[in-house]
Structure 1
Amino acid sequence: MTVAGSTPSAGGYAERPSRLPGAVVWTRRPAGPAGAPVLPDGCMDLLWSEGRLLVAGPDTRAHHPEGPAAEWAGVRFFPGTAPGFLGVPARELRDRRVELAELWPAPVVRRLCGRLAAASDPAGALEELALERAAAAGPPDPLLRPLVAALAAGRPVGATADELGVSPRQLHRRSLAAFGYGPKMLARVLRLRRALALARSGVSFAATAARAGFADQAHLARDVREFTGMPLGDLLSLG
């Protein structure tokens, strides 16, 4: 079974901004015998494929799709907002792909699957489902967006906690529920994303390391291997 997660980089992938704030609606069609690794990005996804609804939890390492190629549609939630949608703390889904029926009542999921199966645009129908659920769930933790923005910009975790007016312990607890791991891991994931964006734009590896906030190029190389299991050059060659 091929299970997507977030930000696939192989051909056959397309995305657009969602009407749900900060979210992305995406589709992926088979483009080869094997899927590209799905890299950690701080997000969680609601997934639809071949009559099944699944959830991709927050990753701390690359997820490598398995099984035959398949078509997928997904909604990728803004970091930290999916637990309110799902009613499940993110820490319970870390590094997991689970059937939605494990989290919600089976009759509800069967009804939703029937609705998506009948839709001419499954990705659009999945977005509608997310919008409806988000409206019923209420607003997310107001701490999340400024926290993500600060860490994505490279702000230190301690300084960010001070700026947000919370203790390190409070920040860690709220991060576990929202992101599936603590703020330091989130900062590392977001730093990796900054580095990959720079490297893919043609910036040299040494300059990428400096601009993304790594101590040096060796530090960047270690983090890339830890998160993805491959050297940076090999990762970039995948597209």
Structure 2
Amino acid sequence: MYEEWSSRVPGAVVWTRTAQGAGVLYPVLPDGCMDLLWTSGRLLVAGPDTRAHQAGEVPGTSWAGVRFPPGTGPALLGVPAYELRDRRVALADLWPGAETRRLTELLDEAEEPAAALEAVALRRAADADPPDPALRAVVDALDAGHSVAVTARSVGLGARQLHRRSLAAFGYGPKTLARVLRLQRALALARTGMPYSEVALAAGCADQPHLARELRELAGTTLGDYVAAANRETPQPSGSSTTA
């Protein structure tokens, strides 16, 4: 079962997940974000993904996480996003060992580990530099469907500058970020019950076959399989249905 709610860290999301029994697990799909993760005895960081991550947890394993919005994780976690692309690494590899041991013990003993993890993120956010407004504008422009060229001009950056800054902030270049954001738009629309042909156009794909190719390349699944897996772990939005 998966649950999430808005964090007190601006733009972030706090989430919890308990691995269910045998069967196909709900995959973690690319979203442009970085996460601070806790599971019993371990603190980790999830870097930005370019493909589906199948966690393969033992049934009953509990997780808590704080998901930082695109471009904000590196300042809070202290590492460029490209160094963690498609990786899960121990927090002790990034922060001092004594600090991570203390935090791990604190979270293991916490009555609500998700709240304790959010408190860690809040303290880091208070000490970190504020998010770069230009990078926030890049995310907004790409998520609105603007081209990379138009986005670069809108924030006053050349193509090479935008690519270099995107690697550090998002883990990959702006073209990949645009694809990931479009994927997330499609996934959200699909769970409302919108027919998949309409999902493709509304998300910014040329047609349904284009969306299907993007799902295979970025998520390793089909839209129908994603919706079925998501609905097994989280309640389906009321009044929704699926259309193949």
TM-score band w.r.t. shorter chain: over 0.9
Q: Find the aligned partners of 1:201 and 1:180 in 2 and give their Cα distance.
A: 29
Q: TM-score normalized by structure 2?
A: 0.90
User: Corresponding residue for 1:68?
Assistant: 58
1:94 counterpart = 2:99: no
- What is the SS of the residue equivalent to 2:8? coil
Deviation at residue 232 of structure 1 after TM alignment: 1.8
Deviation at residue 140 of structure 1 after TM alignment: 2.1
Greater Cα shift, 176-185 or 140-149: 140-149
1:20 counterpart = 2:6: no
- What is the SS of the residue equivalent to 2:199? helix
1:216 counterpart = 2:216: no
Q: Find the aligned partners of 2:69 and 2:191 in 1 and give their Cα distance.
A: 22
**What whole-Å deviation, never above 9, does each CA across 1:162-212 have from its counterpart, x for those lacking one?**
111111111111110011000110000000111111122122121111111
Deviation at residue 112 of structure 1 after TM alignment: 1.1
Give yes or no for contact 1:225–1:232 (8 Å, CA) kept in 2: no
**What whole-Å deviation, never above 9, does each CA across 1:99-126 have from its counterpart, x for those lacking one?**
0011111111111112212211111111
Structure 1 unaligned runs (5+)?
1-11
| Residue number among 154, 157, 171 corresponding to 1:166 in the alignment | 157
Q: Find the aligned partners of 2:19 and 2:63 in 1 and give their Cα distance.
A: 9
| Residue number among 56, 75, 89 corresponding to 2:46 in the alignment | 56
**What whole-Å deviation, never above 9, does each CA across 1:138-157 have from its counterpart, x for those lacking one?**
21222121111111111111
- What is the SS of the residue equivalent to 1:143? helix
Q: Find the aligned partners of 2:52 and 2:185 in 1 and give their Cα distance.
A: 16
Q: TM-score normalized by structure 1?
A: 0.92
Q: Find the aligned partners of 2:223 and 2:155 in 1 and give their Cα distance.
A: 34
Deviation at residue 30 of structure 1 after TM alignment: 2.7
Q: Find the aligned partners of 1:193 and 1:114 in 2 and give their Cα distance.
A: 35
- What is the SS of the residue equivalent to 1:48? strand
| Residue number among 145, 154, 169 corresponding to 2:145 in the alignment | 154
Give yes or no for contact 2:47–2:88 (8 Å, CA) kept in 1: yes
User: Corresponding residue for 1:137?
Assistant: 128
Give yes or no for contact 2:72–2:131 (8 Å, CA) kept in 1: yes
Give yes or no for contact 1:198–1:208 (8 Å, CA) kept in 2: yes
- What is the SS of the residue equivalent to 1:139? coil
User: Corresponding residue for 1:114?
Assistant: 105
Greater Cα shift, 161-170 or 33-42: 33-42
Query: CA RMSD of the aligned region, Å?
Result: 1.1
State, as a whole percentage, how many aligned pairs show the same letter. Answer: 63
- What is the SS of the residue equivalent to 2:28? coil
Deviation at residue 131 of structure 1 after TM alignment: 0.7
Aligned length: 228
Aligned amino acid, residue 100 of structure 1: L
Give yes or no for contact 2:134–2:155 (8 Å, CA) kept in 1: yes
User: Corresponding residue for 1:47?
Assistant: 37
User: Corresponding residue for 1:8?
Assistant: none
